[in-house]
Amino acid sequence: MGNQKLYKGSLQTIILKLLESNDKMYGYEITQKVKELTKGELNITEGALYPALHKLEADGLLDVEVAKVGNRLRKYYKLTENGTKETANKLLEMQEFLKTMQHLVNPKFSLE
Amino acid sequence: MGNQKLYKGSLQTIILKLLESNDKMYGYEITQKVKELTKGELNITEGALYPALHKLEADGLLDVEVAKVGNRLRKYYKLTENGTKETANKLLEMQEFLKTMQHLVNPKFSLE
DNA sequence: AAATATACATAATTTTCTTATGCATATAAA
DNA sequence: TTTATATGCATAAGAAAATTATGTATATTT
């Protein structure tokens, strides 16, 4: 997890991508899914996740739906129509970025 | 340049990689080289670059050598021995990170 | 002559995290 | 059975790392 700080700026995109694939998720579920998918490489902290979810909701990209499971509450988030569009944009941006960085740091290239 | 904010956290690694490939560079040169290598995708701002160079120097990863060219000064930076080691580490971390993110956002995978 | 490029630097602000803390219920382990 | 861990939300204080705005000065191009 030494590269934890590299993911700065990509949290929103990660959340949106997960919701695009899963339709409907709650916060805790997202943290676990990311941990699982990245084999522990990325750990979304709650202090980052919840404010991010609130912001995405405030920006109109996510809708919330509160559910009660047993005696505990869950907040299910899903993409709005606008959120779906933005997700596509952000995923394209992310792939551009990854390609660019890949090129920059690829050991095959010496950057003269 | 919509993805400009995604590169947060990777500036140090970019600088180190460039210096690994080029032995010796000055600040302005680095900004131009990055712009060129990324076809304008990444623009290192001075407000980010110079503090970063100073920090890398303070941390013992870079050595400085001031040169006077015409009537203007340049500060040439190069990797120290320790800097070379750290560069290798950071490049590995970066590649791990890129692989992880690639996997997370790759459109071929639906993340159930 | 004026605009742009080269070359450094720092301060104020913003963005985006981490770390710490708090509350509460459910389940597993000792 | 009580204690630790897991589930589930949230926010506040602080740190890290950028952006934006300035400032200074020389060199080159228009």
Read off the pLDDT of residues A36-69 as tens digits, 9 standing for 90 and up: 999 999 999 999 999 999 999 999 999 999 999 9
Sorted by where each starts, the structural domains of chain A and their CATH numbers stand as 10-102 (1.10.10.10)
Q: Which residues pair with A73 in a beta bridge?
A: A68
**pLDDT score recorded for residue A1:** 60
For chain A, what's the residue count?
112
Task: Report the distance separating Cα A106 and Cα A112, nearest Å.
Answer: 13
Higher per-residue confidence, A59 vs B1: A59
**pLDDT score recorded for residue A110:** 55
Identify the contact set of chain B against chain A, taking CB-CB distances under 8 A: 2-3, 5-10, 13-14, 17-18, 21-22, 33-34, 37-38, 41-42, 89, 91, 93-98, 100-105, 107, 109-112
Residue identified by tokens 């013992």 is B60
Q: With CB atoms and an 8 Å threshold, state whether A10 touches B101.
A: yes
**pLDDT score recorded for residue B105:** 87
Q: Could you list the protein residues whose CB lies below 7 A from any atom in strand C? A: A 4-5, 7-12, 43-48, 51-52, 70-72; B 5, 8, 26-29, 32, 46-47, 50-51, 53-54, 69, 72-75
Residue identified by tokens 């920006």 is A59
The ipTM assigned to this model is: 0.91
| Phi, psi for residue B89 in degrees, rounded to 5 | -60, -50
Going by pLDDT thresholds of 50, 70 and 90, the confidence category of residue A105 is confident
Q: What's the whole-number mean pLDDT along residues B62-91?
A: 96
Name the nt closest to A28 by C-alpha to C1'.
D8
Q: What is the DSSP track for A35-101?
A: HHHTTTS----HHHHHHHHHHHHHTTSEEEEEEEETTEEEEEEEE-HHHHHHHHHHHHHHHHHHHHH
